């Protein structure tokens, strides 16, 4: 066979492994307009095909003469771990399905196949492979800027391939070599400190201290002494001289997080430190020279604070030499998958848990959630799921209810007077709707995922007064 590894990525390749000629012919007829379809009659022949062709999706029959499909599965994944494999079986056997998923199968189908099921699987497999190619290309492109080895789309601890994240990587690389002050803005949990650390690590000060100060966490009575230090006897309890954060960062970088919380009188002292490159300890009588770079971050609108006379205008312009805005996670949803994979690897290693991935159902709800706490909240949820996971794959039940079903979860948590029957019905309704949305309203496939007959799903929709969408975007859906 000829090797086609240089083929165009615009058409995917599907390998149908089945000993029945009719099954292979049916799948070919369904997919041949959009995919290149290869065939094999046995596991051994499938491995030969995989050795010569790059395959995106393998539809693998469970019951074949010789080696069963579930036994061939690990050998297929050994050839190319990124190949999507779907087990096909004529008998709905939950035990076989679970075992197939454990061995690396993406999903399973029950014969006879439905056209929509096959088309959907092929589409998802091609999207998955295209994403992997894009990630590999981004990793290569970022390599010169310090991409983190082993983490797709990563840069100095930040993970993402969204255009805004790539722009941030470029900005960090450009300004790190200069002494410019930067103001990093963004919602809480977006990773503003990571941006500051990246600037420091790529600057000529990288061998010196990086001192982070959360201004909002310091009591008003201590903040001046924490930042600028104090002399012995400056106040009650000051039994000895103490250096402040600025002096501790000598030669390096001071990162002032939540700078918008700084008192107006201390804003004046910070402005002097920026202008004169010197500070004065509390209770001191002489200035102390500074050699630090100052980076600041805020999750509030400092321009509005200036207009409200809550923040000094001259200090704002001193800090905002290079503005860097970190977008919230809901505005770069395509990065959620990369972040999930990154946190699973990182946290599983730290917690010494044998968790290697996330199920399709769990990944769907993670990508749909708005993440008001941004990357920090996502990391917390993955940490919790890994601790609670009962197997090597995080399942939907391992995801907190308020993330899996945010509307129902919040109501159930707050409305303690809701009757049990009504609460269960609300949960069931939201869950069934999410499953249906996840399979583009293919009722038969939703029924298989829910473990009920398609007529049961239709009956529930009728009882809830919900109509199936007339179009692909579901605009006629009646709730």
Task: Grade residue 344 by pLDDT with cuts at 50, 70 and 90.
Answer: very high
Q: Is 335 a residue whose pLDDT tops 80?
A: yes
Backbone angles phi, psi at 31, to 5 degrees: -105, -10
Q: Is 413 a residue whose pLDDT tops 60?
A: no
Give mean pLDDT, residues 17-38.
88
Dist CA 407 CA 430 (whole Å):
8
Q: Is 240 a residue whose pLDDT tops 90?
A: no
Confidence (pTM) = 0.57
Dist CA 479 CA 464 (whole Å):
8
Q: What pLDDT is stored for residue 477 in this prediction?
A: 29
Sequence-separated (6 or more) residues with CB below 8 Å from residue 468: 441, 443, 461, 477
Q: Distance of CA 167 to CAs 170, 180, 195, 323, Å?
A: 5, 18, 12, 12
Q: What pLDDT is stored for residue 153 in this prediction?
A: 60
Mean pLDDT, rounded, of the chain: 81
pLDDT tens across 76-119, in order?
Answer: 887 777 788 888 877 666 677 677 777 778 877 877 778 888 88
177-327 CATH pick, 3.50.50.60, 3.40.50.300, 3.20.20.80, 1.10.1060.10: 3.40.50.300
Q: Is 181 a residue whose pLDDT tops 90?
A: yes
72-76, 167-171, 260-264: segment of lowest average pLDDT: 72-76
330-404 CATH pick, 1.10.8.60, 3.40.50.300, 1.10.1750.10, 3.40.640.10: 1.10.8.60
pLDDT tens across 418-456, in order?
Answer: 566 666 776 777 678 777 766 777 888 888 888 888 888
Q: What pLDDT is stored for residue 9 in this prediction?
A: 41
Q: Is 407 a residue whose pLDDT tops 60?
A: no
Dist CA 19 CA 40 (whole Å):
8
Give mean pLDDT, residues 325-331.
95
Q: Is 471 a residue whose pLDDT tops 50?
A: no
Q: Is 262 a residue whose pLDDT tops 60?
A: yes
Write the secondary structure of the chain as one string of H (helix), E (strand) and C (coil): CCCCCCCCCCCEEEEEECCCHHHHHHHHHHHCCCEEEEEECCHHHHHHHHHHCCCCEEEEECCCCCCCHHHHHHHHHHHCCCCEEEEEECCCCHHHHHHHHHCCCCEEEECCCCHHHHHHHHHHHHHHHHHHHHHHHHHHHHHHHCECCCCCCEECCEECCCHHHHHHHHHHHHHHCCCCCEEEECCCCCCHHHHHHHHHHCCCCCCCCEEEEEHHHCCCCCHHHHHHCECCCCCCCCCCCECCHHHHCCCCEEEEECHHHCCHHHHHHHHHHHHHCEECCECCCCCEECCCEEEEEECCCHHHHHHCCCCCHHHHHHHCCEEEECCCHHHCHHHHHHHHHHHHHHHHHHHCCCCCEECHHHHHHHHHCCCCCHHHHHHHHHHHHHHHCCCCEECHHHCCHHHHCHHHHHHHHHCCCCCHHHHHHHHHHHHHHHHHHHCCCCHHHHHHHHCCCHHHHHHHHHHCCCCCCCCCCCCCCCC
54-58, 245-249, 315-319, 342-346: segment of lowest average pLDDT: 54-58
147-151, 235-239, 365-369, 466-470: segment of lowest average pLDDT: 147-151
Name the most confidently modeled range: 3-12, 313-322, 464-473.
313-322
Q: What pLDDT is stored for residue 201 in this prediction?
A: 92
Q: What pLDDT is stored for residue 35 in this prediction?
A: 85
Q: What pLDDT is stored for residue 468 in this prediction?
A: 65
Q: What pLDDT is stored for residue 154 in this prediction?
A: 65
Q: Is 145 a residue whose pLDDT tops 50?
A: no
High-pLDDT (> 70) share of the chain, %: 83
86 bridge partner residues: 59, 107
Structure token digits, residue 403: 């993330």
Task: Grade residue 244 by pLDDT with cuts at 50, 70 and 90.
Answer: confident
Q: What pLDDT is stored for residue 57 in this prediction?
A: 87
pLDDT tens across 150-172, in order?
Answer: 555 667 789 988 899 989 999 99
Q: What pLDDT is stored for residue 405 in this prediction?
A: 65
87-101, 293-307, 399-413: segment of lowest average pLDDT: 399-413
Count of alpha carbons within 13 Å of 263, Cβ hemisphere only? Answer: 12
High-pLDDT (> 90) share of the chain, %: 30
Do residues 140 and 161 make contact, with C-beta atoms less than 8 angstroms apart? no
Name the most confidently modeled range: 221-235, 275-289, 322-336.
322-336
Q: Is 184 a residue whose pLDDT tops 90?
A: yes
12-113 CATH pick, 3.40.50.2300, 3.10.560.10, 3.40.50.10210, 1.10.150.530: 3.40.50.2300
Task: Grade residue 144 by pLDDT with cuts at 50, 70 and 90.
Answer: very low
Give mean pLDDT, residues 185-210.
93
Q: What pLDDT is stored for residue 326 in this prediction?
A: 96
Instruction: Look up the CATH number of domain 408-463.
Output: 1.10.10.60
Whether 12-113 shares its CATH topology with 177-327 is answered yes
Domain boundaries, the chain: 12-113, 177-327, 330-404, 408-463
């Amino acid at each position: 066979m000829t090797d086609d590894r240089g083929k165009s990525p615009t058409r995917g390749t599907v390998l149908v492994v089945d000993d029945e000629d009719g099954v292979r012919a049916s799948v070919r007829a369904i997919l041949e307009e959009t995919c290149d379809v290869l065939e094999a009659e046995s596991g051994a022949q499938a491995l030969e095909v995989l050795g010569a062709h790059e395959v995106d999706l393998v539809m693998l029959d469970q019951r074949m003469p010789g080696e069963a499909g579930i036994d061939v599965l690990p050998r297929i994944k050994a050839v190319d771990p990124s190949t999507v494999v779907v087990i096909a079986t004529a008998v709905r056997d939950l035990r076989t399905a679970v075992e197939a998923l454990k061995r690396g199968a993406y999903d399973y189908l029950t014969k006879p196949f439905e056209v929509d099921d096959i088309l959907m699987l092929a589409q998802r497999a091609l999207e998955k492979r295209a994403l992997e190619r894009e990630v590999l290309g981004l990793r290569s492109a970022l390599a010169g800027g310090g991409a983190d080895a082993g983490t797709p789309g990563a840069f100095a601890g930040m993970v993402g391939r969204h255009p805004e994240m790539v722009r941030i990587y470029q900005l960090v690389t450009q300004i790190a070599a200069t002494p410019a002050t930067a103001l990093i803005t963004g919602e809480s949990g977006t990773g503003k400190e990571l941006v500051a650390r990246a600037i420091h690590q790529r600057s000529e000060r990288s061998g010196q201290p990086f001192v982070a100060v959360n201004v909002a966490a310091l009591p008003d009575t201590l903040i001046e002494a924490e930042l600028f230090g104090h002399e012995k006897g400056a106040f009650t309890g000051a039994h000895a001289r103490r250096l402040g954060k600025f002096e501790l960062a000598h030669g390096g970088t001071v990162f002032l997080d939540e700078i918008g919380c700084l008192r107006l009188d201390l804003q004046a002292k910070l402005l002097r430190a920026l202008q004169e490159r010197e500070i004065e300890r509390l209770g001191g009588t002489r200035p102390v020279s500074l050699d630090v770079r100052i980076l600041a971050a805020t999750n509030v609108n400092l321009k509005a604070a200036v207009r409200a006379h809550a923040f000094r205008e001259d200090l704002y312009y001193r800090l905002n030499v290079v503005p860097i805005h970190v977008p919230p996670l809901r505005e770069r949803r395509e990065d959620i998958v990369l972040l999930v994979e990154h946190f699973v690897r990182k946290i599983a290693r730290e917690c010494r848990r044998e968790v290697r991935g996330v199920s399709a159902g769990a990944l769907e709800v993670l990508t749909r959630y708005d993440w008001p706490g941004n990357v920090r909240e996502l990391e917390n949820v993955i940490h919790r799921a890994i601790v609670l996971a009962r197997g090597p794959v995080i399942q939907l039940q391992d995801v907190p209810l308020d993330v899996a079903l945010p509307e129902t979860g919040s109501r159930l948590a707050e409305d303690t007077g809701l009757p049990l029957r009504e609460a269960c019905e609300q949960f069931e309704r939201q869950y069934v709707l999410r499953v249906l949305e996840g399979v583009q309203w293919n009722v038969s496939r939703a029924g298989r995922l829910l473990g009920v007959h398609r007529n049961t799903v239709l009956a529930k929709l009728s009882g809830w007064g919900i109509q199936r969408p007339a179009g692909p975007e579901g605009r006629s859906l009646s709730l």
